[in-house]
Structure 1
Amino acid sequence: MSELTRLREFLNELIPSEDQFQRLYQNFCAQIRKGLGAKTNKDADTKCYLTYVQDFPHGNETGKYLALDLGGSRFRVLLVTLKGDRDAELVAKIYDLTEKELLGTGTQLFDYIAKCLHEFVCEQKVEGEHMALGFTFSFPCVQTGLSRATLVRWTKGFNCSDTVGEDVGVMLKSAITRRTGLKIDMVAILNDTTGTQMSCAHRNPACNIGLIVGTGCNACYTEKVENCERLDTKYKDRPKIIINVEWGAFGEKGGLDHLLTDYDKIVDKNSLNAGTQIYEKMVAGMYMGELVRLITLRAVNENLIFAQCKLRKQITDILTKKPNCIETKVLSDIANDKGDDWPMVKDVFKDIFHLHDADPDDCMKFKYICDVVAKRAGNMLGVTLGALVNKVGESFSIIGVDGTVYRCHPNFDGYMRETLDRFVEKDRKYDIMLSEDGSGRGAALVAAVVHREYIERKSLNARLHT
Structure 2
Amino acid sequence: MGISRGKQENCSPSSAKVEKKGKFLALDLGGTNFRVILLELDSSLELNCQVKYYTVPESLRLGEGELLFDFLAECIESFLKDNNLLGQKLPLGFCFSFPMDQTGIDEGILVTWTKSFNCPNVVGHEVVKILKNALEKRKDVAIDVVAIINDTTGTMMMGSYLDKRSAIGLILGTGCNASYFEKVERIHKWEGKHEGITEVIIDIEWGAFGDNGILDFMKTEVDKIVDENSLIVNSFTFEKLFSGKYIGEIVKQILLQLIDKNVLFHEVKLKPQNWTFTAADVSHSLEGKDLEKISDILKSKGFLETTLDDAEIVYYVCSVVSVRGSLIVSICLSSLLRRMDKKDVTIAVDGSLFKLHPKYKHYMEKFIAELAPNHKFQLILAEDGSGKGAGLVAAVVTSLDRSKLHA
Q: Same fold (TM over 0.5)?
A: yes
1:417 aligns with 2:373: no
Distance 1:345 1:272, change over 3 A: same
Q: CA RMSD in A?
A: 2.8
Q: Residue in 2 aligned with 1:392?
A: 340
Judge conservation of contact 1:61–1:84 (CA < 8 Å) in 2: no
Q: State the alpha-carbon separation in 1 of the partners of residues 20 and 105 from structure 2.
A: 19
Shift of 1:417: 1.4
Worse overlay, 327-336 or 177-186:
177-186
Q: Residue in 2 aligned with 1:54?
A: none
Q: Residue in 1 aligned with 2:204?
A: 245
Distance 1:86 1:432, change over 3 A: farther
Summarize deviations over 1:101-156 as a string: whole Å, max 9, x none: 55665555444544543443344334454322100112332111111111223455
Shift of 1:375: 0.9
Summarize deviations over 1:218-247 as a string: whole Å, max 9, x none: 111111222222222234542222111111
Q: Residue in 1 aligned with 2:12?
A: none
Summarize deviations over 1:245-304 as a string: whole Å, max 9, x none: 111111223332332222112222332322221111111112212221222232334454
What pairs up with 1:2-401 in 2 under 5 angstroms? 59=18, 61-72=20-31, 74-83=33-42, 87-95=46-54, 97=56, 106-127=65-86, 129-155=88-114, 158=117, 160-177=119-136, 179-180=138-139, 182-235=141-194, 237-306=196-265, 309-311=266-268, 314-315=270-271, 318=272, 321-322=273-274, 325-338=276-289, 342-356=291-305, 358-401=306-349
TM-score computed with the length of structure 1 as normaliser? 0.75
Judge conservation of contact 1:107–1:171 (CA < 8 Å) in 2: yes
TM-score computed with the length of structure 2 as normaliser? 0.85
Residue identity in the other structure for 2:228: K
Q: State the alpha-carbon separation in 1 of the partners of residues 57 and 280 from structure 2.
A: 27
Summarize deviations over 1:163-213 as a string: whole Å, max 9, x none: 321111122234445544543221111111211111111111211111111
Give secondary structure in 1 for the equivalent of 2:216: coil
Distance 1:163 1:418, change over 3 A: same
**Which runs of 4 or more aligned residues in structure 1 lie more than 6 Å from their structure 2 counterparts after TM superposition?**
none
When Rg is computed on C-alpha atoms for both structures, the one with the higher figure is 1
Give secondary structure in 1 for the equivalent of 2:277: coil
Q: Residue in 2 aligned with 1:48?
A: none
- Residues matched between the structures, number: 388
Judge conservation of contact 1:61–1:83 (CA < 8 Å) in 2: no
Q: State the alpha-carbon separation in 1 of the partners of residues 336 and 397 from structure 2.
A: 26
Using the aligned pairs only, state the percent identity.
Answer: 38
Shift of 1:159: 5.3
Q: State the alpha-carbon separation in 2 of the partners of residues 290 and 114 from structure 1.
A: 33
Q: State the alpha-carbon separation in 1 of the partners of residues 69 and 313 from structure 2.
A: 50
Judge conservation of contact 2:167–2:346 (CA < 8 Å) in 1: yes
Q: Structure 1: 5+ residue runs without aligned partners? A: 1-56, 458-466
Q: Structure 2: 5+ residue runs without aligned partners? A: 1-15
